[in-house]
Amino acid sequence: MRAAKVNEITSNTMCVDTNGLAKDYLRCGRKTAVDIGTSANARIQVGKRVLWNLKKIQQYIDSISE
């Protein structure tokens, strides 16, 4: 049997998929994560795969936080 794949977000991680963005990075629901990523203009589409640029999301969060 194969070991479960563990996704870790480190300081070197540039992009994550939608599930990684919601569960591991923002710790919110999928819809909220997509809304934040879209507002940050961080969406990257390669074929059918969607990735999110973490640097843009971090800058967006910093700009909207008080």
> For the segment 5-63, what is each residue's pLDDT rounded down to a tens digit?
666 788 888 999 999 999 999 999 999 999 999 999 999 999 999 999 999 999 999 99
- The answer to whether residue 33 sits within a structural domain is yes
**Model-level pTM?**
0.85
* 9 domain residue, yes or no: no
Alpha carbon dihedral 35, 29, 18, 15, in 10-degree steps, equals 80
Q: Does a structural domain hold residue 44?
A: yes
Largest separation between any pair of C-alpha atoms in the chain: 48
* Range of the structural domain that residue 29 is part of: 15-64
Number of domains in the chain: 1
